[in-house]
Amino acid sequence: MKAVVYTAYGEPAVLHTAEIGKPAVKDNEILVRVRATSVNFGDLMARNFKAVTPRTFNMVGALWLAARAMMGWNRPRAQVLGSEFSGVVAETGAQVTKFKPGDAVFGYVGSTFGAYAEYLCLPESGAVALKPANLSFEEAAAIPYGAIMAYNLMNLVEINPGDRVLINGASGAIGSAALQLAKLRGAQVTGVCGTARVETVRALGADRVVDYTREDFTQSGETYDLIFDVLRKGSLAKFKSVLKPKGVLLFASFKLRELVESMRTRNSTGQRVICKLVPENQETLNAVRELIAAGKLKVSIDRWYPLEQAAEAHRYAESGQKTGAIVITVPQGSPAGAV
Ligand SMILES: NC(=O)c1ccc[n+]([C@@H]2O[C@H](COP(=O)([O-])OP(=O)(O)OC[C@H]3O[C@@H](n4cnc5c(N)ncnc54)[C@H](OP(=O)(O)O)[C@@H]3O)[C@@H](O)[C@H]2O)c1
């Protein structure tokens, strides 16, 4: 089958098209004929992980070590990127009961990767669900990761109608879903993002948008009940200075400092810090699917590229110019079953 592979860490040019063996479905697995996949944070980081140091890695150092060992010390272990996918079930293993050939599905395989290819195998118990009918295959490939993570992280906090919520990183995969989930719970939401994505964040429903290249939200005088920081951009002290008493600081990315703070219950003003790694699970994807089907959760796509232009897709994703998600479409030319 056709796939985009990489055998060395590096710039987008390391991605190239190749013919590789089609994965064989195990008893508990489904084989998906991939229709679309995406370029997300994980793909970009895994493509050039050699350039990520413990200092630039935006999680605690121990996780950097674990990630480097898992991804491959000098060269990538998994040679096919792509963690989000949409497609059609081509084959099911003998023990599979939830899916059948012909089902349109979408999902997220996390650090297992493998979706930059014509076929992908995954356990039926993984983060995979029937594709919502109101999403195209392209849209469905760009939403599972961010929506699952945002849903699980936002469920760690209480949000009441009228609460003032700030999402620092509202234009990315996790932040754009978190923004919409906060709006669904009746919050007044401020989204922070870069210049090219201000209108996208506004269109996702933000009440106020702050361009971090022009304004520092910690200097505006506004205070918040919840600050959700996606990429660990900013100082803990500054965040606390604009957090209301009893407010919550929620970190998707965190170093030891934030982790230690999160171990205290509440400080003297009642403020609380939460840092947590959340799972990629089918249950959450099903919950997300219902929100999408009800028109309550959407994804904003900027561009899509055919599989053979995956390197170009990565280049654009890193250009700073993108206004929404980047999708890679997988040609459907080869007959089903071709190797
Ligand atoms: N806790 C968990 O279980 C968990 C799970 C998965 C991932 N993560 C973590 O989540 C992070 C990736 O999130 P993602 O996939 O949403 O990334 P993403 O799609 O790349 O989005 C990153 C966001 O951060 C914004 N940003 C960049 N520089 C900023 C700055 N100086 N100030 C404020 N915002 C800034 C970006 O804004 P612009 O693009 O508009 O510039 C964008 O909105 C990683 O650190 C990953 O480790 C955590």
Residue 266: pLDDT over 60: yes
Backbone angles phi, psi at 267, to 5 degrees: -80, -175
**pLDDT for residue 337:** 40
Cα(96) to centroid(ligand 1), Å: 35
Q: Which residue has the higher pLDDT, 39 or 336?
A: 39
pLDDT at 334: 55
Confidence of residue 333 (pLDDT cuts 50, 70, 90): confident
Q: In 3-state terms, the chain is what percent helix, strand and coil (to 5)?
A: 30, 25, 45
Residue 259 is classified by DSSP as H
* d(C-alpha 43, C-alpha 41), whole Å: 6
Out of 57, 157, 231, 250, give the residue to mutate to test ligand 1, the one with the largest number of ligand atoms within 8 Å of its CB.
Answer: 231
pLDDT of residue 335: 47
252 lines ligand 1 (CB under 6 A): yes
Gap between the Cα atoms of 38 and 126, Å rounded: 18
Q: Is 193 in the pocket of ligand 1 (CB under 6 A)?
A: yes
Q: Give how far the C-alpha of residue 248 lies from the chain's centroid of Cα atoms, to the nearest Å.
A: 22
Measured between alpha carbons, how far is residue 198 from residues 100, 105, 201, 235 in Å?
A: 42, 31, 5, 23
> Among 189, 202, 204, 230, which residue has the most ligand 1 atoms within 8 Å of its CB, making it the best to mutate?
230
Residue whose CA is closest, atom 19 of ligand 1? 172
Alpha carbon nearest to ligand 1 atom 5, residue? 149
Share of the chain above pLDDT 70, in %: 97
| Beta carbon of 169 within 6 Å of any ligand 1 atom | yes
| Ligand 1 neighbourhood includes 171 CB (under 6 angstroms) | yes
Which two structure tokens, joined as six digits, stand for 322?
């993108």
Reported as a single tens digit per residue, the pLDDT across 233-244 is 999 999 999 999
pTM confidence score: 0.96
Which residues have CB under 8 Å from 212's CB, separation 6+? 168, 192, 193, 194, 233
Q: How many residues does the chain have?
A: 339
Q: 277: Cβ below 6 Å to ligand 1?
A: yes
What distance in angstroms lies between residue 231's CA and the mean position of ligand 1's atoms? 4
d(CA 51, CA 74): 11
Per-residue pLDDT of 67-125, as tens digits, reads 999 999 999 998 999 999 999 999 999 999 999 999 999 999 999 999 999 999 999 99
| Pairing status of strand 2-5 against strand 127-130 | unpaired
The pLDDT confidence band at residue 264, using thresholds 50, 70 and 90, is confident
Nearest to 76 by CA among 6, 22, 155: 6
What's the pLDDT tens digit per position in 269-300? 789 999 999 999 999 999 999 999 999 999 99
Segment 175-228, tens digit of pLDDT = 999 999 999 999 999 999 999 999 999 999 999 999 999 999 999 999 999 999
pLDDT digits (tens, 9 = 90+) for 136-190: 999 999 999 999 999 999 999 999 999 999 999 999 999 999 999 999 999 999 9
Structure tokens at 145: 């990761």
**Model pLDDT, residue 267:** 67
Confidence band of 36 (pLDDT split at 50, 70, 90):
very high
CA of 172 to the centre of ligand 1 (A): 6
Is the CB of 142 inside a 6 Å radius of any atom of ligand 1?
no
